[in-house]
Copies of this chain bind each other. A is one copy, B any other.
Amino acid sequence: MKHVAEAPWRKGKLKMTDRDGQEKVRLAAVGLGRWGRVMAAAYHESDVVDLRSCFSRDPVRRGAFASDFGCEEAQSLDELLARDDIEGLVLTVPNDQHAPIIEAAAQAGKHVYVEKPVAVEPADVRRIQEAVAATGIVFACGHSARRLAGVREMRRSLDSGEIGTPSMIEAVFSNERGLELKEGDWRGDPAQCPGGPLTQLGIHQIDNMNYLFGVPSRVMGVGKRGATAVANTMVVAALLEFDDVIGYLGADWLTPGAFTLDLSCTKARLRYELDFSWWSNSADTDAHTRLIKTEIGSDSADPDGRVLSEHAVKLTPRDHLREEIDEFAMAIRGKAAVEVGIDVAVSNVAVVLAVARAINEQRGVDVAEVLEELRV
């Protein structure tokens, strides 16, 4: 494990410390667009992270980021990677730049957190896996939605047995952003963004379903383009076969924001709804969600005598984005395990690609078929 023996942070000069007197983990942000800023807003005041520097090819964007989040700015990626005091990168560059940057970072001994999807080009997915395996860096992929309090509560409810045996999981993640796509936008290109909202939104729910039920064996799907300026699929619906559970995924880029998970079990149904307005304010997202539990409140041998009872389950708010960066930082120090590492990240992409293939080829697709093409 090269990153333990030779961790560059051991040579660092500036020693910010966390509450326990531990040295903070020094990270740099690479890719400073909208999501890079959303992420930084979530973690730059973390107790365990020292946002030390940043890089973007755009000097104006770079300057603004450095000023807003109180960090240095690097003139080039190479300059950043050459610094001994930078331990890890928070990477939020376009998907097709993930592979080369992760390779360079891994070779420089930098740990990497990368926004989802890890990559969509099979060759890129393989390169990233090879780089991670060869260098032993700590690697984390941004699937923060599984950290939402309601998703955690679903997992707990399943594990405790209190909601009985699960039969269906239905997940929807939609928003209106396909309506404003302009010709030439990478999101409108089926190669860069397979299935449109499937790659951008649906993958979050694929990860949530992975968290609850693992990797589906087989998928099928339907896609529609809608009346937009681009050639990509704007609406996707998919069925996912888990061991004993059927999954549904809806991802629609032509409608106001929606994020829901419906879990059907023998003793209860759980419905989780999130006000998408708060998606990017990770400290407040949980406060704008609700988990509704429906069960038979008054039972009867006569089906018409049964009365359903519905109530909101109390949730303790978390911060889904800060939490995953903190975990990444702690993992760099060997004090935590990364929950969503390379294997889960790759299997999530495999499900996206399998659904896209199912739509294109109008057939059910075994996820193993795609995973074989992605594995090194």
Chain B residues with CB under 8 A of A257: 294, 306, 308
Interface residues as binary, A280-323 with B (CB distance below 8 Å gives 1, 0 otherwise): 10000000000000111000000110111010000000000000
A219's nearest neighbour on chain B, judged by CB, is B222
Whether B168 and A250, one on each chain, are in contact in the complex, defined by CB atoms closer than 8 angstroms, is: yes
A-B contact pairs, 30 of them (CB 8 A): A34-B303, A34-B304, A167-B234, A167-B235, A167-B252, A167-B255, A168-B174, A168-B250, A174-B264, A175-B303, A176-B266, A220-B220, A222-B241, A222-B246, A224-B244, A236-B246, A237-B239, A237-B248, A238-B239, A254-B264, A255-B269, A256-B295, A256-B296, A256-B308, A257-B294, A258-B269, A275-B310, A277-B308, A280-B304, A362-B364
Whether B172 and A170, one on each chain, are in contact in the complex, defined by CB atoms closer than 8 angstroms, is: yes
User: Does A188 reach chain B (CB closer than 8 Å)?
Assistant: no
Which residues of A are at the interface with B, using a C-beta cutoff of 8 A? 34, 38, 165, 167-168, 170, 172, 174-177, 179, 220-224, 226-227, 234-239, 241, 244-248, 250, 252, 254-258, 262, 264-269, 275-277, 280, 294-296, 303-304, 306-308, 310, 362-364
Copies in the complex: 2
Whether A246 and B224, one on each chain, are in contact in the complex, defined by CB atoms closer than 8 angstroms, is: yes
Whether A266 and B239, one on each chain, are in contact in the complex, defined by CB atoms closer than 8 angstroms, is: no
Q: A336 CB to closest chain B CB, in angstroms?
A: 29
Q: Pick the contact of A222 from B179, B239, B250, B267 — CB < 8 Å?
A: B239
